[in-house]
Amino acid sequence: MKRIIGFLVMLFVLIGCEPPMPIVPFVHEDWTNRTLKANQIDSLELGKTYLSIYSQVYSRNKDIKHNLTAVASLRNTSDSDTIYIVAANYYDTHGALVHVYIDDPIFLGPFETTEIVIEEHDVAGGTGSNFLFEWKAPVGCPDPLFEGVMISTLGQQGLSYITHGVKI
């Protein structure tokens, strides 16, 4: 009887085990085919949008932090016009510039989306990081939508947050 119980326990342990998830390095989106020179879009209206991002959140107290993967989603909400992202600057909790993501303007066609991913191990932004986006669009074109999606898992615990950009 002990052998049968031992066999069943081992069987359940083996069935319940999952192979480890392979670590696949994230490859940032290549924008080389969508860049323009700034003088090509001089006649368009300029807008700016602020987006809060959390690469870390507090857990249990102010001394314990939990890292998050953060995605800044840049979306063209127009069904007919192309918009242009002129700048995507990432700042830390103290307002210091951490990273410039766009050197030359990029375009997004109607209803097109692109993302900027801040990986979970990248905590340079801290608990109060943020983006400032500058964009250009034709007069009368709807404003682009900027959203932040932050996620993480630890064991069976999952965390997820969303933020929305504010035009400034």
Cα(101)–Cα(134) distance, integer angstroms: 12
pLDDT above 90 covers what percent of the chain?
60
Residue 16 covered by a domain: no
- Which residues, 6 or more positions from 6, have their beta carbon under 8 angstroms from its beta carbon? none
Residue 147 sits in which domain range?
43-167
47-86 pLDDT, tens digit per residue, is 999 999 998 888 888 888 889 999 999 999 999 999 999 9
**Closest to 87 measured CA to CA, from 143, 117, 145, 132:** 132
Q: Give me the pLDDT at residue 6, please.
A: 66
The residue ranking higher by pLDDT, 67 or 19, is 67
Residue 23 covered by a domain: no
Q: Give me the pLDDT at residue 24, please.
A: 43
Residue 8 covered by a domain: no
Overall domain count for the chain: 1
- Which residues, 6 or more positions from 1, have their beta carbon under 8 angstroms from its beta carbon? none
CATH of the domain at 130: 2.60.120
Q: Give me the pLDDT at residue 159, please.
A: 85
Cα(86)–Cα(35) distance, integer angstroms: 10
Q: Give me the pLDDT at residue 5, please.
A: 73
- Give one DSSP letter per residue of 87-132, joined into a string: EEEEE-TTS-EEEE--SS-EEE-TT-EEEEEE-TT--TTGGG-EEE
Q: Give me the pLDDT at residue 2, please.
A: 72
- Amino acid letter, residue 154: L
Residue 28 covered by a domain: no
pTM, whole model, 2 decimals? 0.77
Which band of pLDDT confidence, cut at 50, 70 and 90, is reported for residue 11?
A: low
Residue 163 covered by a domain: yes
Cα(71)–Cα(151) distance, integer angstroms: 9
Residue 22 covered by a domain: no
